[in-house]
Amino acid sequence: MGSIVPMGYVVTRISGSNIMAACGSSIATPIAGAGCTDVSVPEGDHKYQVTAVYRTWTATGTPSANVSVTSRRDLDFSLEPSATVTAGAPMTVTVRLRTVLNLPFLDADVPVTLSLGTNATGGTLLGTTTVGSKWTGTATFNDLAVTKAGTYTLVASSPGFAGAVSRTFTVTAAAATQLVVTTPMPVSGVASATANLGPIVVERRDQFGNPAVGTPSSVALSTGTSGNGVFAATVNGTTVSSVTIPANSSSVSFYFGAKIAGTSSVTLAGTGMPLSVPVQILPAQAAKLKFAEIGVTGVLPKNVQFNVTVSFVDAFGNTVDAGAATTLKQTGTTKCTIGGTPQTVTSVHGTATFVGLIQNGLQDDCRLTATGLNLPPEDSAPFSFR
């Protein structure tokens, strides 16, 4: 095999305990070469580290020796971001131009740009990010916002000036506006008379998708099919109609169970609009055999061939997808002679169909018995021929 050529590189600047991407590079947007120009670097000692990127693989090199940066002109934050900021809320920051002697550098219309430095959660800085300085040498940003909760720093840069890094600030979630189920959907499990599916986790979030904490919040639980569906706070626990997200928490879990197989939904109502959660109920283990109705009101025409179907069903009457041999035999009065029996048929998707059965002449109290899958024999309801 030939040598692997990196698809690009990510350059990281290490300034004490602060680690941030440099040269506008990131895993999503690596630069073409391992070298670059890092503009508007804060004064002080820094190290650089290069990570090679090839598809989803990365390889990180050893950090460089210290690089000392000095300048006759630099930037600093005269008004730092607040230590805690609500997601989406505007914040005001002021950056000033200064000389190496820490004196104001008085100049107007010098462009100053802010970007996110520390940004482990992948947030985006919104608002006006480039502002021209006033004659006092200060640039004020008053509509900046970050919508993703996390911990950040701001980096100030300007052509010809050493940059500056703000203090660390934390973005917290705004007020909760919606409910979100974090459990993979659809929720799926076997039919049950108790709440056996879960845990299903419901989380309250703000308008930006951040998990939101606050005071206790009730979540009402309901299902669209009357009598089919129970909820519990614990697996197979006592039935409940609601659960509560505790104070200082963003989520709560519950369990669900239903007897009828198929696709349905449960509804969660509380913060924001009601939320519909798809649920897929599968048949439980085969428990018995079940005859389909034989004839209309149990009466068949004499001397005419008819069919009989028998299904494998669970304890709740759901057809179980079992491909098994099913044997049909005649029972009931000895005078009722049904041609074509006994016979054995392999069920398809849990249902066996017996075809070409016939009774010659009038007869009452005819019955059939089905067996299969080592389940108890099942008798049909009595039927007649007229």
Q: What pLDDT score was predicted for residue 149?
A: 96
Q: What pLDDT score was predicted for residue 226?
A: 61
Q: Which CATH class is domain 178-282?
A: mainly beta
Q: What pLDDT score was predicted for residue 311?
A: 95
Within 13 Å of residue 39, how many CA atoms lie on the same side as its CB?
12
| Residue ranges of the chain with per-residue pLDDT less than 70 | 1-2, 34, 70-72, 225-227, 332-335, 341-342
Q: What pLDDT score was predicted for residue 70?
A: 64
Domain 73-172 is of which CATH architecture? Sandwich (2.60)
pLDDT in tens, 357-376: 888 788 888 888 999 988 99
Options 2.60.40.10, 3.40.50.720, 3.60.15.10, 3.30.1330.200; CATH of 288-385: 2.60.40.10
pLDDT in tens, 296-341: 788 888 888 889 999 999 999 999 998 888 888 887 666 678 887 6
If one counts every other C-beta atom within 10 angstroms of the C-beta of residue 323, the result is 11
If one counts every other C-beta atom within 10 angstroms of the C-beta of residue 305, the result is 13
Best CA proximity match to 133, nearest among 154, 115, 159? 159
What own/partner pairs with CB < 8 Å and gap ≥ 24 does 375-381 have?
A: 375/286, 375/287, 375/288, 375/289, 375/312, 376/288, 376/289, 377/289, 378/288, 378/289, 378/290, 378/291, 378/310, 379/331, 380/291, 380/294, 380/308, 381/291, 381/293, 381/294, 381/298
